[in-house]
Chains A and B, each alone.
Chain A
Amino acid sequence: MSIPGEWYLILAAILFGIGALGLLIRRNVLIMFMCVELMLNAANLTLVTFSRMLNDIGGQAAVFFVLVVAAAEVVVGLGIVVSIFRRRSTAVADDISSMKG
């Protein structure tokens, strides 16, 4: 018998938690982006697990679209980082606080 789906779901929850923790404690914008990728991958793992548990291809199709959206998100996000770096010469989120109220 193959691995029960609960193991994958717990692993995905822990991976999501690590990604969220990194997003909260790191200040480098690039590493915050990588933590977003970790969270997206945890969601992908969950979708594939449910796809197997329900014997339905829809979950894998959803992962396919999440991959595309993640690629678009990284391209635009890194474009923003490059644009900010040109003006401010910093990649630390705390230094980009001009719009702070």
Chain B
Amino acid sequence: MTSLLATTVAIPDVIVFAAGAVMIMIGALGVITSRNPVHAALSLILTLFGIAVLFIEQQADFLAAVQVIVYAGAIVVLFLFVIMFLGVDRNEDLDAEPLAGQRSMAFVIVLMAVGAIIALGAEAHWVVGPHSVSGVPGGPYQNVYNLGRSVFTTYLFAFEATAALLVIAVVGAVVLARRSGAANAEQPDGQPENEEVAS
């Protein structure tokens, strides 16, 4: 951390990092300050693209693509779908503060937490230990190959577990979001909704 400004970094890298950081910051502040949930979702997309830029800058090519496809393409669309489906795309009154002192307390707590994280990181010698235990990430055009080999060998059990997790999540979402049988009997025209998309 003491060598933070002493290191020489290439100018294009700095430009890419700054672009990604600005996208992330504008998007994140937009999420928490916009009155309209639709605008918040669009700001979230900006943040996710910024994260993808920084993934590319760190040679995590596959994750950058997945970030755009899964997050910006599936998750945010799911958010927008639910916002439109519920009809809550109205402006929210941000000035009302039902719990007195909540915002100032939240500011203080978050500032203390972030300051503590950065201070601990500055004190600690955190990047130590053996390198490349489960394979190297990089090499020219090797990221997808290396990541695939790692996921399907070292982390195969976790991969199978996520398959089970996704099935459970989809079934659970259908059970949660459909109308109950009694409600269907009262409303014969009630079509069973199927608003879940498999991500």
A54 within 8 A of B: yes
B173 and A76 contacting across the interface, CB-CB below 8 Å? yes
A96 within 8 A of B: no
CA distance A45 to B57 in the complex (A): 11
Q: How many residues of B contact A (CB 8 A)?
A: 93
Q: How many residues of A contact B (CB 8 A)?
A: 73
B165 and A69 contacting across the interface, CB-CB below 8 Å? yes
6 smallest beta-carbon distances between A and B, as pairs: A22-B32, A72-B169, A79-B176, A24-B106, A71-B199, A79-B173
Interface set of A (CB-CB < 8 Å, partner B): 1-11, 13-22, 24-28, 30-31, 33-35, 37-38, 41, 44-45, 48-61, 63-65, 67-76, 78-83, 85-86, 91, 94
Interface set of B (CB-CB < 8 Å, partner A): 1, 3-4, 7-10, 13-14, 17, 21, 24-25, 28-29, 31-32, 37, 40-41, 44, 47-48, 51, 54-55, 57-60, 62-63, 66-67, 70-71, 74-75, 78-79, 82-83, 85-86, 88, 92, 98, 102-103, 106-107, 109-111, 113-114, 117-118, 121, 127, 129, 131-138, 143, 146-147, 150-151, 154-155, 158-159, 162, 165-166, 168-170, 172-174, 176-177, 179, 195-196, 199
